[in-house]
Structure 1
Amino acid sequence: MLKPSRLLLPLLAAFLAPVALADTRGATDPRIEALLTELGKVRHINEVALSPDGQHLAWVVDTQDKPSIMLADTDGKHAHSIGLASKPGVCSESSLAWAPDSRHLAFLSNCASTRTGMGGNKQPDLYVLDVSSQAKPERLAALDGYANALSWSPDGKTLAFLYVEGATRRASALAAAKPAIGEIGVEGIEVQRIATVPAQGGSLQQITPATSHVYEFAWAPDSARVAYVAAPPPGDNNWWIAQLYVQAAQPNASRTALVDPNTMSGSLHGLQIALPRWSPDGSRIAFIGGLMSDQGFTGGDLYGVSASGGAPVDLTPGIHVTPSWFTWSSPQSLLVDQISNGQAQLAEYSIGPKQAKQQRVLFTAAGYVGDGTAILGLSFSADHRQVAFMQTSFEAAPEVYAGTVGNGMPAAVTAINASFKPSWGKVESVEWDNEGFHVQGWLLYPAHYDPSKRYPMIVNIHGGPSGAEMQLWPSVGYGAIPFSTLGYFVFMPNPRGSYGQGEAFVQANRKDFGYGDLRDTLAGIDAVEKKVPVDDHRLGLTGWSYGGFMSMFVPTQTQRFRAVVAGAGIANWQSYYGQNSIDKWMIPFFGASVYDDPAVYAKSSAINFIKKVKTPTLIVVGERDAECPAPQSFEYWHALRTLGVPTSLVVYPGEGHHFNNPANQRDVLQRALNWFEKYLPPQ
């Protein structure tokens, strides 16, 4: 959601951070050190790609902290490294895309590059490997910028991708923002466009106009057209007002604005759109439309629109799940990966002109699944009879799964992280009803749980608010799961505003941040306390992003929590509106700009109720956070310090909304663990 305007922030961060280091890091608990070391050994699986004929399986796995590509049979056998790396961990290779012939695999690699790209790293180039030969990968195009989302045309003659020529950063609001210098909003704007390269080699062409920032795209079945979601630059800000376009896959082609949620009437008005997908005959485009707070974390209803124009149709009004990803499996059917009660489900839908209806659930995953292309994305063979993906849960570290569609949950075909076992307690799904809503959350037991004892509990509020807490093996970065290892219950609710109960549930906290979702959370805590021996006088609260906002706001509404860690939070929606540079996300949630309706922003601003806060609070944030700007954390910290509330602020230099520096990832989790041990010690 945001980008800070700051001139003195780096100086302040440098001045204040050393004080915070001395105050909050403290002596390292040996259990924390052991946990962080163990989490750091897990190898992350970033992408999974099944060949169209279902015979080959490729995946990208971190090897000595560098992404590298593995190729295997569909059952995971005969796995071997491919690409240009002379040895593991010396360079990076990623962004998999199989050609329709199942022989050629495209990817990005910087292993042979001598040119410098983003962040001073080597510039990746575009390569293609013929997996049926012993030849080395061939460089298809030399790049000068950021590339992602490789996609072959259905006829196999062209490779397209999203491209930011001359990029200095990753095209995402989650990435660290540029320094706020120069003429703001004018200088240094980087535009992501669709670029194409002929499969047989040739010059790179950018086919979409420089006046539009493209977020995602899809080839038409005829290989002559593309559909894409785009908005005027700057791209970080304008995804929330993006439109759906169709144009010929040629430079300077005219385009048609097919869907504009900003001007149309009906259920899609003012909402966000994602994942355009052509029907097999090219006559229709389906997409997901909903109230989404972050580009990339997709959720909403399924919509359809004629490829030649017309009004879009909500195909799934009133459903009680949240579709997050889908693909056409035939002209009359879709395969939809959806969130239901905090779990991922692959379901088959029939689709007609006016309605898409769920026919059956093919499997429910134990945890989060994905192929690296999109949230809950899956990789299918061309006939949709086989599927592959990565899965991770609270109980199992990431592995690649693959199998036949319709035979239940596929089995793991790798054992990359099989040796890792949880050091935390068991997990249960908890469900309750509140104010007419059905709500779900996850409860993690303390390690070495003894039912005769009473335990403290830490409540973690997820980001978004349009999102969902799903099962994930924790990383070294900030998260709530490790608290269980130290002897806490951990409760992770999915209150109103979350995915998993349908679009009406997602929209239920519009213009109501911190109120209805808090009541849902408190009702969930009551339900947990009836179930397990939680000490209500030892409750902690934490969260990141929207969860960071809640961690700042909730102590102004209740004294039930005794310690807080607020990550990348928002203290004052009114000042935030003027500080950030992606304010377009706010109007769909607040109903108007802060200049037109300041009261709706004021009522959810913690700073307006700050004298009610008594809770010791640790505040952490990235110095260049483009979603939740660091001045918000300064404002909250300054108020608590003035009021004599125990507090500490740590600003991490160079970090954005997601921390990339391993030392900072480790430090922020260690501080949070130490903070709760200090104020909520397990007995």
Structure 2
Amino acid sequence: AAVWETAGRPPEIAVTDVAGGEWRQVTGLNDDLARLAVHQEEVTWTGPDGLAVHGLLLTRREPAPPGPAPLVVIAHGGPTWLWSSAFAPAESGQLALPLVHAGAAVLLPNPRGSSGRGQDYARRVVGHVGEEDLDDVLAGVDHLVAAGVADPGRMAVLGLSYGGYLSAWAVTRTGRFRAAVVMSGVADWLSFANASNLAHGYDPLYHGGADIATSEGRDFLAARSPVCHAAKVTTPTLILHGAEDRTTPVGQAEELYRAWSAAGVRTQLVVYPREGHELTEPGHRRDAAERVLGWLTGNGVL
């Protein structure tokens, strides 16, 4: 037995013979959700250095209003992780579907550093966190704008964990997004190095061995930390975080909020009690979804 789903079919239990054969669906627990399915297609584009980059584009099934749509980019965590086709792509609180139903086109990019395309592709981010991987994401945005899919004046970026970091980092590098949402994101690699339960494995790998005990290592980490570049930010940013997060401790959210606020950036911080790295309580998940939709609407994206 297994859980079986497609882009157009919500998860159900299916069975097959041990020796093999056709899968047969045996439950219909989520039949009522099938009406919420959205159109999903694979998209490819070229990174700034010519590397082929892949992602998923989610849009409404029914005819959309004429002209380009608002675009929401959702960056995945990791960075060695990936977006793959599913009824409701699971990361970032399963926000992709409600955002599409609110009228947005949603890009789920798999920039260099993502899994699913071999070790060489995954290792391209080692020592280059926030560099070429962000360039790949922005090239995907350019591709959709050029294709007439995305309205360049109504775009947002959001993500969870490393995706939250990349969202915060993106708005220190470009002002093209009208709004950002940072969920459980890293804001300061220096404090992360001692506070996170991942730190002593993360720095030797993704930061190319940068050592916080040396001035060179500290300079390397600071150069890639959003809080050290707050003066460059103009994008309104919503920050959502779990109070009990051990992977990216809540201090990361507090640092980001203080840095953005001191720089005059419109920002809001929401901390959810009892929650860890991802929200699990239904009431909190609903509250977060409503806040994200409200933030994007209030800032002219939706």
Per the TM superposition, whether the score is higher than 0.5 is yes
Is 1:594 matched with 2:207? no
Indicate conservation of the 8 Å contact 2:189/2:225, yes or no: yes
How many Å apart are 1:408 and its aligned residue? 8.1
How many Å apart are 1:681 and its aligned residue? 4.2
State how many pairs are aligned. Answer: 295
Indicate conservation of the 8 Å contact 2:179/2:301, yes or no: no
Indicate conservation of the 8 Å contact 1:447/1:486, yes or no: no
**Aligned counterparts of 2:273 and 2:133: Cα–Cα separation in 1:** 32
Q: How does 1:69-468 map to 2 (within 5 A)?
A: 388-403=1-16, 410-423=23-36, 425-434=38-47, 435-446=49-60, 448-450=62-64, 452-468=66-82
How many Å apart are 1:640 and its aligned residue? 1.4
What whole-Å deviation, never above 9, does each CA across 1:171-230 have from its counterpart, x for those lacking one?
Answer: xxxxxxxxxxxxxxxxxxxxxxxxxxxxxxxxxxxxxxxxxxxxxxxxxxxxxxxxxxxx
Letter in 1 for 2:247: E
**Aligned counterparts of 1:608 and 1:463: Cα–Cα separation in 2:** 21
Letter in 2 for 1:617: T
Equivalent residue, structure 2, for 1:642: 262
**Aligned counterparts of 2:254 and 2:146: Cα–Cα separation in 1:** 38
Indicate conservation of the 8 Å contact 1:540/1:680, yes or no: no
Equivalent residue, structure 2, for 1:578: 194
Is 1:566 matched with 2:182? yes
Give secondary structure in 2 for the equivalent of 1:565: strand
Answer with 1 or 2: which has the greater Rg: 1
Equivalent residue, structure 1, for 2:110: 494
Letter in 2 for 1:626: R
Indicate conservation of the 8 Å contact 2:7/2:38, yes or no: no
How many Å apart are 1:451 and its aligned residue? 5.8
**Aligned counterparts of 1:444 and 1:395: Cα–Cα separation in 2:** 12
Indicate conservation of the 8 Å contact 1:623/1:652, yes or no: yes
How many Å apart are 1:510 and its aligned residue? 0.7
RCO higher in structure (CA 8 A, sep ≥6):
2
**Aligned counterparts of 2:134 and 2:284: Cα–Cα separation in 1:** 30
How many Å apart are 1:407 and its aligned residue? 7.6
Letter in 1 for 2:207: F
**Aligned counterparts of 2:223 and 2:166: Cα–Cα separation in 1:** 13
Equivalent residue, structure 2, for 1:302: none
How many Å apart are 1:645 and its aligned residue? 1.2
Give secondary structure in 1 for the equivalent of 2:124: helix
Letter in 1 for 2:176: R
Give secondary structure in 1 for the equivalent of 2:34: coil
**Aligned counterparts of 1:613 and 1:478: Cα–Cα separation in 2:** 27
What whole-Å deviation, never above 9, does each CA across 1:255-279 have from its counterpart, x for those lacking one?
Answer: xxxxxxxxxxxxxxxxxxxxxxxxx
Equivalent residue, structure 1, for 2:169: 553
- Of Structure 1 and Structure 2, the greater helix share is in 2
**Aligned counterparts of 2:78 and 2:7: Cα–Cα separation in 1:** 21
Is 1:659 matched with 2:258? no
**Aligned counterparts of 1:536 and 1:578: Cα–Cα separation in 2:** 39
Give secondary structure in 2 for the equivalent of 1:398: strand
Is 1:472 matched with 2:86? yes
How many Å apart are 1:452 and its aligned residue? 2.0
What whole-Å deviation, never above 9, does each CA across 1:607-665 have from its counterpart, x for those lacking one?
Answer: 12111100000000000101111111111111111222111000011110122222111
Is 1:620 matched with 2:247? no
Indicate conservation of the 8 Å contact 2:172/2:233, yes or no: yes
Computed over aligned residues only, the root mean square deviation of the Cα atoms, in angstroms, reads 2.2
**Aligned counterparts of 1:439 and 1:446: Cα–Cα separation in 2:** 23
**Aligned counterparts of 2:274 and 2:218: Cα–Cα separation in 1:** 32
What whole-Å deviation, never above 9, does each CA across 1:327-361 have from its counterpart, x for those lacking one?
Answer: xxxxxxxxxxxxxxxxxxxxxxxxxxxxxxxxxxx
Indicate conservation of the 8 Å contact 1:478/1:665, yes or no: no
**Aligned counterparts of 1:625 and 1:506: Cα–Cα separation in 2:** 26
Give secondary structure in 2 for the equivalent of 1:460: strand
How many Å apart are 1:396 and its aligned residue? 1.6
Gaps of 5+ in 2: none
Letter in 2 for 1:437: L
Indicate conservation of the 8 Å contact 2:156/2:301, yes or no: no
**Aligned counterparts of 1:644 and 1:507: Cα–Cα separation in 2:** 37
**Aligned counterparts of 2:19 and 2:122: Cα–Cα separation in 1:** 30
Indicate conservation of the 8 Å contact 2:125/2:132, yes or no: yes
How many Å apart are 1:677 and its aligned residue? 1.2
Indicate conservation of the 8 Å contact 2:127/2:207, yes or no: yes
How many Å apart are 1:450 and its aligned residue? 2.3
Question: What TM-score comes out, normalization by structure 1 length?
Answer: 0.41
How many Å apart are 1:566 and its aligned residue? 0.6
How many Å apart are 1:406 and its aligned residue? 9.7
**Aligned counterparts of 1:560 and 1:406: Cα–Cα separation in 2:** 54
**C-alpha spacing 1:415/1:569, structure 2 compared with 1 (3 Å):** same
Decide which of 516, 526, 529 is 2:132's aligned counterpart: 516
Equivalent residue, structure 1, for 2:292: 672
**C-alpha spacing 1:519/1:404, structure 2 compared with 1 (3 Å):** farther
Indicate conservation of the 8 Å contact 1:424/1:484, yes or no: no
